[in-house]
Chains A and B, each alone.
Chain A
Amino acid sequence: MSEAEFEGIVESRWSGGASPFAINSKKLGMWLFIVSDSLTFSALLISYAYVRLETPNWPRPFEIWPAIAKSSFMTFVLLSSSLTMVLGVNAAFKGDRKKTVRYLIATIICGIAFVLIHATEWVTLFGEGVTPWGNPWGTPLFGGTFFGLTGLHMLHVTIGVAYLAIIAWGFGKGKYTAEHVEVSGLYWHFVDLVWMFIFPMVYLLSVNPK
């Protein structure tokens, strides 16, 4: 393709009357939301990095067993849910309603499992005296950043579970199209991706060095 041809195509795509990206507005809207939400998480992660770098002797309390093993398992569960989500979207575009709903339910179950395991982890930490305002290792902000970051992420997963439930129900009834499923998938993968930043930065960087 020559440069002139390429420019011609770009110009005709952006000349109005149709979406220049050839996607529907809902999908574009979700992408834009993801941009905005990723800035929110970036701000939190950067704040975490900022206070951590400023603090001498930031605690590194997580033992490989059970804390890291547990969070690795959570990571596995969440990644699996992304796989079932992909399969669900694929089935939706093939028009297989039953299969789509089944995959979506599998995704929802993984999401709920993630939240539940996460909740037991929180309860264990509370039991050890780790709270947002204090902990046995002397840097209260450790708890603040931990619960702040994982809490906001957990909120996103919970909202995602509810969102997917609505989509699964609506798609099963024939109210929603495959594109609705795809857009909900974008959100779900984004929430997964955020965890892929939180897991190394919050857990792996705080593994007990001994």
Chain B
Amino acid sequence: MSSHAQTGHAVVVEPSGFIRKYIFSIDHKVIGIQYFLLALTAVCVGIVLSLLMRFHLVYPGAHLPFVSGGIMTPEQYMALVTMHGTIMVFFVLTTAPQGGFGNYFLPIQIGAPDMAFPRLNMLSFWVTFLAFVAILAAFVVPGGAPISGWTGYTPLSGMGEVTGPGEGMGQTLWIVSISLFCLASLLGALNFIATTIDLRAPGMTLFRMPLTVWGWFVTAILGLLAFGVLLAGGVLLLLDRSAGTSFFLPAGMVVNDQLQPHSGGSPLLWQHLFWFFGHPEVYIAILPGMGVASHVLSTFSRKPVYGYRAMAMAICAIGFLGFMVWGHHMFLSGMSPYSGFAFSVLTMSIGVPSAIKTFNWIGTLWGGKIQFKSPMLFALGFVSLFVSGGLSGLFLAQPAVDNMLHGGYYVVAHFHLVMGVAAIFGIFAATYFWFPKMFGRMMSEPLGKLHFWFTFAGAYCIFMPMHFVGLAGGIRRYADATGTNYGAALQPAHMFMTYAAFITGAAQLVFLFNFFWSLKHGPVAGKNPWNATTLEWITDSPPPIDNFGGHYPSVYRGPYEFSVPGYRQDFIPQNLTPDQAALLK
């Protein structure tokens, strides 16, 4: 397909044969669903790992039939921590919103037939898939999964088996997986950016793009700039492990009473490289969710997004500032107080665009005719979790406060709420919202509401007490603190969180059932079941192979024209000409 067919769109022919159609497809819609299913698989694995951790924290001595030796060792617990974090951050929070929904809806929302580089898009997915296979393989290789956390901190991750089981083959596979993931993601990001810049339909100015597109676009810019740096770090770490270099390994390290043969490197260097990627990564996870929340809140309040331009600019500002605050992950690593001060001030300044967004979300709801459908509930949940999790970020941004809290559960609670669960709520909102468009059927509303309330209450029951555990001195990554006085005192809170986690985990089965049941048995959705305005709703559900059946739209208005005074219909699609719209008066 021509990559820049705007004036004369190339004719897109649906490929015949199962493999070209569903496996090695170059159709962005199929690739989007592939990404989504990959993330769905990954999230199931990730949830099981987290439940195992929660179980171990309250019953550390329990016999588990599937654990070699019967009782989980601290190293095995650390392997769970590492794999849960890695799988969730990379293969769920990065993959589902951007690779999944971004791939599926960005071209449709800007009125394009496909991504700018369809073959590259397919390559990105399959490299991501390889990365996922590599990380899963770490479970089954000798020594098992790595134990150095999702951040892969050196020197632990750089020295091989001497530092523990899982640090042999498992850690190598981890690095290979992450490096592949970086490569796939930066190619994907390049594709998203080129698509957004070049393939917008006539009339689709930047400030007529839906906020979802803004979210994906800025996320792609972050990905383009951040993943290359982690790739460099991954290459160096791999050299340290396999070519005997010492980039991240200082001299004089003694492990198991043996002096290690490294010299000259710096563990801090890895932290800088990692977090220069790692902090933008946080926004890679959350920005698409912000876009979806804005989109859904507007649609189900039947009101335009309050302060649309400010919302778009706030996304850009968050993306920009996100590159200048990586040091706040390293306050404890030793840092000049002046650097700490700068990172602290910059970090808190992210509160400004975040507050603009929150204010505007509330402004969007204000006076609206709110419809509490499942996607709306999850979008409201997103706002709630983002605020609850974001506020604790302001405390952690102070180096002095962070020194006390950083090693403990307070940080775990903070980032799970703001980046983990909030982003997941964004994904859920997107799933409930776009499921009818993707599969042509509606999901069940009662089941969706049931799923929402259990997940929403469950998330708070898990992570709110966790803040207090952190304030009380609970230290994260400890497999078993029950032997200490302060640890034993915190056990009731841990018990509560574990029960909440199991109930919340079980509630996800409702979602899975709803998803797969509705694929076959949901009520048939029309073109526009939510009476929404953006371009994906003017085409069939699911859209034809070239997205618009040959009738490519032109755009005449902004993305959120709801309840415009003087019109009989409370929404005006973006592609209506002024003449067509006048008929609705």
Contacts and interface: CB of A to CB of B under 8 A. Distances in A.
Contacts of A24: 3-4
A143 to B, nearest CB: 8
Interface string A95-139: 000000000000000000000000000000000000111100001
A32 B91 CA distance: 24
Size band of the B side of the interface?
35 or more
B233 interface: yes
Contacts of B205: 11, 14-16
Contact of A51 (B7, B208, B265, B555): B265
A202 B564 CA distance: 64
Nearest to A28: B194
A30 to B, nearest CB: 9
A54 interface: yes
Interface in B167-192: 186-187, 189-191
Contacts, number: 148
Interface stretch (A42-50, A168-176, A184-192): A42-50
B7, B116, B554 — most chain A CB neighbours (10 Å): B116
A9 interface: no
Nearest to A148: B239
Contact of B224 (A36, A140, A147): A36
B11 interface: no
Contact of B194 (A29, A38, A41): A29
B197 interface: yes
Given A32-B193, A132-B239, A148-B235, A139 B264 contact: yes
Nearest to B263: A140
A50 B190 contact: no
A39 B190 contact: no
A72 to B, nearest CB: 27
Interface string A12-23: 001111111100
B278 to A, nearest CB: 13
A16 B200 contact: yes
Given A50-B269, A51-B265, A36 B225 contact: yes
Contacts of B6: 17-19
Nearest to B205: A15
Contacts of B116: 25, 28-29
Contacts of B435: none
B164 to A, nearest CB: 22
B292 to A, nearest CB: 22
A208 interface: no
Given A25-B116, A141-B245, A19 B228 contact: no
Contact of A47 (B193, B200, B236, B264): B236
A132 B242 CA distance: 10
Contacts of B265: 51, 141
Size band of the A side of the interface?
35 or more
Interface string A145-165: 101100010000000000000
A92 B3 CA distance: 21
A9 B272 CA distance: 42
B229 interface: yes
A35 interface: yes
Nearest to B111: A16
Contacts of A61: none
A147 B247 CA distance: 12
Given A14-B206, A17-B203, A43 B266 contact: no
A21, A43, A145, A147 — most chain B CB neighbours (10 Å): A43
A144 B246 contact: yes
A29 B190 contact: yes
Contact of A148 (B200, B203, B245): B245
Interface in B10-33: none
Given A35-B224, A36-B227, A36-B228, A25 B247 contact: no
B197 A19 contact: yes
Contacts of A132: 239, 243-245
Given A40-B232, A44-B232, A140 B198 contact: no
A70 interface: no
B246 A140 contact: yes
B217 interface: no
Given A16-B205, A24-B4, A36-B190, 6 more contacts: A43-B276, A47-B273, A133-B246, A140-B262, A147-B243, A148-B239
14 contacts: A17-B7, A17-B201, A18-B7, A24-B3, A25-B116, A29-B117, A32-B193, A40-B229, A40-B232, A51-B265, A131-B244, A132-B245, A144-B243, A148-B235
